[in-house]
């Protein structure tokens, strides 16, 4: 028997064996791909949750939901708005007979706006503002006769003209730079003396007409001195007027065309006069809230579709989606269904669930909105509809206001007791007998510190009424840049005891301090300083923290609940009924899910850890492949050699056997 030559296909055999060795790596690659697909799916869920949360957050702000619509039947006559959402619903009739306007004056024309006027000696222009009464205005000359000028008591303003600015341009720039409520301009009428300086009061209304006194250069006096009750060197081109109109038949006179204090929480902008009444209607803006609820439902349905598509099973293809049976998806769906199916407690309103306002979950899991039912609910009880979505605190005491609550605050009804009301810091005193006369460099400087923020102010020189000086001090304090930047301000009043400067803030940080050469003149030798105090009391029977007018619960179920105490008496003040609407609760859930330690991130972290382990295992297998291939090649090369040798031996034996003698 002969043994043939080996002639093994070593490379082919090794290649097939290495294909088998690659199978575990292919399995790992598939497993890694499946895990990467899950991470991508979780990313899609995160995106869908974020989009839904945007819709949810639009419904969490109660004040934003309590919108009103103000409608003018003729917007060419007036427009109206209500940003607070607190205006009373109803209708009003308005008739506008006169619009408010500001006075405008003009100087006689000059040959040039750059030519010097007078000798350049320092000349003081003193501007006063007030009302022109009695007498007559000659329309042809633009001047009054037999009239009286009465200052409005808000103080005089001064401008100095000298050799550096004694031209029309210089006077214009000096007046405008003083920012005293007058705008100066130069126009060219094309005549032989074309340069005309015009002055316009920045404030409309009859109490803001202009009087100009001039002390110094006679040439400037002859040009600029203007007293509506005396010498008038300027002509009046536009007379100051108040707005005159009626609301529901009541005559009203205002110095501005922007009216904020006639109809509560409604701002009117008068635009034109009319002979016929125009109707203002204030209604609930059901359309705005309806749109937000519809967006809420759409966002929910988009999220629901994403979750369903990523976790469903296709019976036709018999393939499951990437997250079929995923516990994270099931938990998320369960949490949202639980929130939406749980009635809201302690709303204090007419509604406790979404179905009552036309929002329902259908059999297929989608959310539907019955717009007619929703609009009817909003029109009837807008606040109650809003309370289904946002957080709300309903106080039984009208002088208590719910501010906000913390993440740990539980829904419930919490009693409030006040032991001390918040107060304001103040600085008060009796003035000297000549305090109504403010002189430059003598008693015009005050260094004030309001709520710990300091500013140096300079009062305008002039003679005041007590009310006018109080207004001047208040204006300069509240106009100080450092105070305005810090958001602090003060009120200044005068009564039978003297002046009192009061911080507009409440609480222990509310304070007023005054120094400077004008302090004694204004407030006397022995001013009374009062430090503000924080509100103090109990919420739900435990001591609460006071800051200004706000009382904050620091313990128990009401932890984080904030109540603003607007006044009233000390003692028991009723209860705050606090509820958490669907949008608020869903927003908290989504925030927790999307957090770094939330469900999705935790799941992705776990999967990434598994992918890392797969990568490590795969690298190990891949590192072994060249060695295994080398072993296979060596083994089969050796086998080929062995088989070749065996073939040679077989051939040799065959030859030897063939040479043996044959038996006869």
Chain-centroid distance of CA 5 in Å reads 91
On the CB side of 403, how many CA atoms lie within 13 Å of its CA? 15
Longest dimension (CA), the chain: 175
Model confidence over 413-465: pLDDT tens digits? 999 999 999 999 999 988 655 577 888 888 888 899 999 999 998 888 888 88
Q: Over pLDDT 90: what percentage of the chain?
A: 51
CB 537 within 8 A of CB 558: no
Q: Which residues of 22-41 are buried (b: 16+ CB within 10 A; e: fewer)?
A: eeeeeebeeebeebeebeeb
Helix (H) and strand (E) counts in the chain: 13, 39
Q: Kind of pairing, strands 104-106 and 195-201?
A: antiparallel
Rounded to 5°, the CA angle 144-149-151 comes to: 150
Model confidence over 580-621: pLDDT tens digits? 889 999 999 999 999 888 888 888 888 888 888 888 888 888
442: left (phi over 0), alpha (psi -120 to 50) or beta: alpha
The H or E element spanning position 14 is helix 10-57
Gyration radius (Cα) of the chain, Å: 43
Alpha-carbon gap, residue 608 to 39, rounded angstroms:
8
Strands (E), 389-541: 391-395, 400-404, 412-420, 426-429, 437-438, 445-450, 453-458, 462-463, 490-495, 498-503, 512-515, 528-530, 536-539
Mean pLDDT on 489-517: 91
Closest CA to 473 of 495, 444, 442, 498: 444
Q: For 524-581, where are the alpha helices, taking DSSP H only? A: none
- The predicted pLDDT at position 2 comes to 36
Mean pLDDT on 327-335: 90
- Two tokens at 163? 């050799």
Give φ, ψ of 399 to 5 degrees.
Answer: -90, 0
Model confidence over 359-409: pLDDT tens digits? 999 988 899 999 999 989 988 888 788 889 988 888 889 999 988 888 889
CB 553 within 8 A of CB 405: no
User: What Cα–Cα distance (Å) separates residue 400 from each residue in 270, 545, 567?
Assistant: 35, 16, 8
- The predicted pLDDT at position 8 comes to 73
Alpha-carbon gap, residue 535 to 419, rounded angstroms:
8
| pLDDT tier for residue 490 given thresholds of 50, 70 and 90 | very high
Alpha-carbon gap, residue 432 to 588, rounded angstroms:
61
Residue 357 pLDDT more than 50?
A: yes
User: What Cα–Cα distance (Å) separates residue 371 from each residue in 375, 378, 382, 390?
Assistant: 6, 10, 14, 20
Q: Which residues are within 8 A (CB) of 441 and not within 5 positions of it... i.e. 6 or more apart?
A: none
Q: Which residues are within 8 A (CB) of 217 and not within 5 positions of it... i.e. 6 or more apart?
A: 117, 118, 119, 120, 121, 123, 161, 166
Model confidence over 294-305: pLDDT tens digits? 999 999 999 999
- Return the minimum-mean-pLDDT range out of 208-217, 516-525, 530-539: 516-525
658 vs 568 pLDDT, higher one = 568
Model confidence over 475-486: pLDDT tens digits? 889 888 899 889
Alpha-carbon gap, residue 523 to 469, rounded angstroms:
12
- Two tokens at 373? 């039912």
CB 283 within 8 A of CB 375: no
Alpha-carbon gap, residue 523 to 500, rounded angstroms:
8
- The predicted pLDDT at position 3 comes to 38
Name the residue with tokens 């510190």: 449
Alpha-carbon gap, residue 565 to 420, rounded angstroms:
10
- The predicted pLDDT at position 1 comes to 33
- The predicted pLDDT at position 84 comes to 65
pTM exceeds 0.75, yes or no: no
Closest CA to 517 of 437, 443, 585: 443
Q: Which residues are within 8 A (CB) of 421 and not within 5 positions of it... i.e. 6 or more apart?
A: 535, 565, 567, 568, 570
Q: How many CB atoms lie within 10 A of CB 493?
A: 17
Mean pLDDT on 19-31: 82
Mean pLDDT on 210-224: 95
Residue 252 pLDDT more than 80?
A: yes
Mean per-residue pLDDT over the chain, rounded: 88
């Amino acid at each position: 028997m002969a043994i043939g030559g080996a002639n093994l296909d070593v490379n082919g055999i090794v290649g097939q064996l290495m294909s088998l060795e690659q199978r575990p790596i292919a399995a790992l690659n598939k497993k890694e791909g499946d895990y990467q697909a899950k991470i991508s799916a979780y990313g899609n869920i995160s995106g869908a949750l974020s989009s839904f949360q945007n819709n949810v957050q639009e419904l969490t702000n109660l004040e934003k939901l309590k919108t009103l619509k103000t409608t003018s039947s003729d917007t060419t006559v007036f427009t109206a708005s209500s940003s607070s959402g607190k205006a009373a619903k109803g209708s009003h009739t308005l008739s506008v007979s006169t619009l408010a306007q500001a006075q405008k004056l003009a100087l006689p024309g000059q040959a040039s706006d750059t030519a010097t006027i007078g000798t350049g000696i320092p000349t003081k222009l003193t501007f006063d503002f007030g009302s022109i009464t009695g007498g007559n205005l000659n329309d042809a000359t633009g001047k009054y006769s037999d009239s009286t000028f009465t200052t409005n008591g808000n103080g005089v303003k001064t401008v100095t003209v000298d050799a550096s600015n004694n031209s029309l341009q210089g006077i214009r720039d000096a007046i405008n730079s003083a920012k005293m409520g007058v705008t100066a301009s130069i126009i060219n009428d094309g005549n032989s003396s074309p340069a005309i300086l015009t002055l316009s009061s920045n404030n409309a209304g009859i109490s803001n007409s202009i009087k100009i006194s001039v002390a110094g250069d006679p040439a400037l006096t002859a040009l600029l001195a203007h007293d509506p009750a005396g010498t008038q060197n300027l002509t009046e081109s536009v007379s100051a007027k108040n707005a005159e109109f009626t609301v529901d038949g009541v005559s009203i006179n205002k110095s501005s065309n922007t009216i904020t204090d006639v109809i509560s929480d409604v701002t009117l902008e008068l635009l034109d006069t009319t002979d016929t009444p125009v109707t203002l209607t204030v209604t609930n803006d059901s359309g705005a809230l309806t749109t937000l609820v519809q967006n809420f439902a759409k966002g929910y349905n988009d999220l629901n579709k994403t979750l369903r598509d990523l976790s469903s099973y296709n019976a036709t293809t018999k393939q499951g989606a990437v997250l079929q049976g995923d516990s994270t998806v099931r938990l998320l769906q369960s949490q949202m269904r639980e929130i939406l199916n749980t009635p809201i407690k302690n709303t204090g309103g007419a509604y406790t669930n979404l179905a009552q306002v036309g929002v329902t979950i259908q059999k297929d899991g989608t959310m539907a909105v019955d717009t007619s039912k929703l609009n009817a609910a909003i029109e009837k009880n807008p606040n109650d509809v809003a309370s289904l979505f946002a957080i709300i605190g309903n106080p039984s005491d009208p002088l208590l206001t719910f501010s906000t609550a913390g993440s740990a605050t539980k829904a419930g009804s919490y009693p409030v007791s006040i032991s001390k009301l918040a107060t304001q810091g103040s600085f008060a005193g009796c003035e000297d007998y000549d305090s109504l006369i403010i002189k430059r460099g003598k008693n015009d400087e005050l260094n004030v510190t309001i709520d710990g923020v300091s500013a140096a102010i300079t009062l305008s020189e002039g003679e005041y009424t007590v009310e006018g000086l109080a207004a001047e001090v208040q204006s300069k304090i509240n106009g100080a840049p450092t105070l305005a930047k810090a958001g602090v301000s003060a009120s200044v009043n005068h009564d039978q005891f003297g002046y009192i400067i009061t911080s507009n803030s409440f609480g222990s940080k509310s304070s007023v301090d005054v120094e400077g050469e004008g302090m004694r003149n204004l407030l006397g030798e022995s001013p009374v300083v009062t430090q503000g105090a924080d509100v103090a009391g109990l919420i739900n029977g435990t001591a609460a923290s006071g800051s200004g007018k706000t009382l904050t619960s620091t313990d128990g179920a009401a932890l984080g609940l904030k109540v603003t105490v607007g006044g009233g008496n000390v003692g028991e003040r009723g209860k705050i009924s606090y509820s958490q609407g669907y949008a608020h609760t869903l927003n908290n859930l989504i925030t927790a899910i999307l957090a770094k330690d939330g469900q999705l991130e935790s799941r992705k972290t776990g999967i990434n850890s598994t992918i890392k382990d797969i990568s490590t295992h795969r690298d190990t297998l891949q590192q072994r492949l060249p060695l295994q291939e080398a072993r296979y090649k060596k083994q089969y090369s050796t086998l080929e050699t062995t088989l070749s040798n065996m073939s040679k031996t077989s051939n040799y034996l065959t030859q030897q056997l063939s040479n043996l003698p044959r038996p006869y």
